[in-house]
Amino acid sequence: MFTKLKRWFHPPVFPSDEDKTRSALLLNVVLNTFLVALPVTIIGVLLAGRVPRFEKGIIIVTLAWLTIFGTRHLMLKGQVAIAGIVTVTIIFIATTLVIYNVGTIRAPVTSFYILSIVMAGLVISRHAIAWMAGLSAVTIITLLFAEIYGLLPQPTLYGG
């Protein structure tokens, strides 16, 4: 049992492909972090008490967390590039949905766009950095205009 659990959390090694092994190692760190951090985030939101529309946020985070298991399975089967693309897509979509749900781009979650850009470069390719940076910039600008023109829900952030 412990051996299976330990094997699940270790990255696969591809002796004939050093770049694939490096990508799998980096992706493994991110996936393991999400496997631990997302449930902690859900518990924090539940304990916070005064969080309007928290149900939508919990659903978004839970779906992202469950998708991480499928992504790990892809990585362990040797499809590291596809697992990287799925991970970057999950981060990007979940970030966008949470920002929309919170109602403002001033939410701390906006910084996760940087994570999607860095992950794209480290796990997918150098060209993916430019694509994710461009897509993130367009999304942030779109969300900014949506916020300015009142197209987002009322912000749910609480001050002090």
Tell me the chain's radius of gyration from C-alpha atoms: 17
Predicted pLDDT at 49 = 67
pTM for the whole thing?
Answer: 0.82
Structure tokens at 96: 């966008």
Predicted pLDDT at 140 = 96
Residue 98 in this model has a pLDDT that exceeds 90:
no
Mind listing the pLDDT tens digit for each residue in 1-48? 678 777 778 888 999 999 899 999 999 998 998 888 888 877 877 787
Mind listing the pLDDT tens digit for each residue in 63-93? 888 898 889 999 989 999 999 999 999 999 9
Q: Are 141 and 109 in contact (CB under 8 A)?
A: no
Q: Are 87 and 31 in contact (CB under 8 A)?
A: yes
Predicted pLDDT at 160 = 44
Task: Outline where the chain has alpha helix (H).
Answer: 2-9, 18-48, 54-76, 80-102, 112-119, 126-148
Span 40-66, average pLDDT: 77
